[in-house]
Amino acid sequence: MEIADIRNKDLKVYDYDLPLKRIAQYPVNERDQSQLLIYKGNKISKDIFRNIDNYIPSDSLLVFNNTRVIRARILFRKETGAEIEILCLEPLSPFEYELSLSSKDPVEWKCIVGNLKKWKSGEIAASFEFEGKEYRLTAEKLQPDGDAIGIRFSWDTPHLSFGEVIDATGHIPLPPYINRMDEAEDIERYQTVYSSIKGSVAAPTAGLHFTEQVFKKLKEKKIKTAEVTLHVGAGTFKPVKSKTISTHEMHCEHFFVTAKTIKLILDNRGKIIPVGTTSVRTLESLYWLGAKIIKEKPGFQTEFSIGQWEPYDTGGSISAAESMKALLSFINLHKLPYIHASTSIIIIPGYDFRMINGIITNFHQPRSTLLLLISAWTGSNWKSIYNYALENDFRFLSYGDCSILFR
């Protein structure tokens, strides 16, 4: 089937019945005791996640997304009593995540505002406590930005950074299908044990199952690891409401990859297994970024972008090795600490994967772009995989169980 035909395919093909009771509202007691579905050689079986090393070839390279979820959901209350909820999506000024979160001066963020109609004008404020003292965080509306809006945040103490302020004020932004308020347990459990770079408003959930014991077993089997950073946006939960794929506007996310990781990817081609769909998106976007550098030969720049349909419109005869070598050369030539890019790539059935040899991932919503990605990898067998999971009491979505999928 031609890619144009797939773009116009009716999305009901990628629908399935997901009972509410199958959507995990809480994590299992121990991270690595979740169920694991194994799809290999067109056969499906199950185990527990703690034994995942048994299903990964010993010379593999696992690629992890080391992003860390910020307490991006902030609740304000107007003097009238109306509650306004602000979800921080990405920084506008300063533009860099690290600079914005470390800033002790006012910052501006692109946000989604709940109950916006109740916020006609003026500033709104929320009080917070830090080391026994009470302070105020103030929000001011700026310009609309698509479905979102710019918000300027300021606070009444110069010794705290914005990151410290939202840690004291905000809530863990649990996905909308987890039908409860965040609790103390979520502060730890809605983070991977290896998370380190703050910026996400959603966890890379396939990584939630890994523990130190699992990493020890992987190391004993000489399975290598590498890290990328992709800050997960709220758009990852955006349902595909259009009838066909072609009219769905894909969300944009920022990623950062060091020369060390690119070298590991280059040296381990044919053995790469990303942990989570965010790592898949990063790796495949890296390929297209390297291909773009080869074709366009850009001068010095510190940020690139990959468009939603760019891979399908440009085609790619360049090998993964050539692409990674081009990225390494660009980094070394311009003495950059990492490659920084934004990606809106959509991976749909018919996509030609360049970088990966397996996927570790949770189970995704019906009619979602994440399910389209899984279908692109497994073909129509995604239906058998999901039917097996439903029939064998697997838990679904962010706090749910996991799978490892080979072609």
Last residue of a domain, one of 118, 138, 170: 170
Both 83 and 140 in one domain: the answer is yes
Of 22-26, 227-231, 239-243, 383-387, which gets the smallest average pLDDT? 239-243
Q: Has residue 61 got a pLDDT over 70?
A: yes
Both 360 and 251 in one domain: the answer is yes
Q: What was the pLDDT predicted at 5?
A: 65
Question: 129-184 pLDDT, tens per residue?
Answer: 999 999 999 999 999 988 899 999 999 999 999 999 999 999 999 999 999 999 99
pLDDT confidence tier of residue 4, bands split at 50, 70 and 90:
low
Q: 93 φ, ψ to 5°?
A: -155, 115
Both 49 and 76 in one domain: the answer is no
Both 61 and 76 in one domain: the answer is no
Contact 170, 72 (CB under 8 A): yes
Of 9-13, 72-76, 259-263, which gets the smallest average pLDDT? 9-13
Q: Has residue 328 got a pLDDT over 70?
A: yes
The whole-chain average pLDDT of the chain stands at 94
Domain for residue 179, yes or no? no
Q: Has residue 3 got a pLDDT over 70?
A: no
Average pLDDT over residues 4-9: 70
Q: Which CA distances in Å does 101 have to 69, 163, 165, 191? A: 12, 4, 9, 18
Both 32 and 164 in one domain: the answer is no
What is the domain range of residue 85?
Answer: 72-170
Measured CA to CA, the distance from residue 386 to residue 316 in angstroms comes to 31
H-type helices in 170-271, by residue range?
184-189, 212-220, 259-267
Predicted TM-score (pTM) of the model is 0.94
- Domain CATH for 316: 3.40.1780.10
| CB environment 230-264: b (16+ within 10 A), e (fewer) | bbbbbbbbeebeeeebeebebbbbbbbbbbebbbb
pLDDT confidence tier of residue 396, bands split at 50, 70 and 90:
very high
Q: What was the pLDDT predicted at 234?
A: 79
Looking at the chain, the whole-number percentage of residues with pLDDT higher than 70 is 98
Domain for residue 276, yes or no? yes
Please state whether the peptide bond connecting residue 94 to the residue before it is cis, i.e. omega within 30 degrees of 0: yes
Q: What was the pLDDT predicted at 1?
A: 46
All residues at 6 or more sequence positions from 94 whose CB lies less than 8 Å from its CB, including other chains: 100, 103, 107
Average pLDDT over residues 391-399: 98
Both 310 and 197 in one domain: the answer is yes
Q: Has residue 324 got a pLDDT over 60?
A: yes
Q: Has residue 8 got a pLDDT over 80?
A: no
pLDDT confidence tier of residue 88, bands split at 50, 70 and 90:
very high
Measured CA to CA, the distance from residue 270 to residue 254 in angstroms comes to 25
Lookup result for tokens 């894909």: 250
* DSSP E strands, 16-66: 35-40, 43-48, 61-65
Both 210 and 78 in one domain: the answer is no
* DSSP E strands, 146-179: 148-155
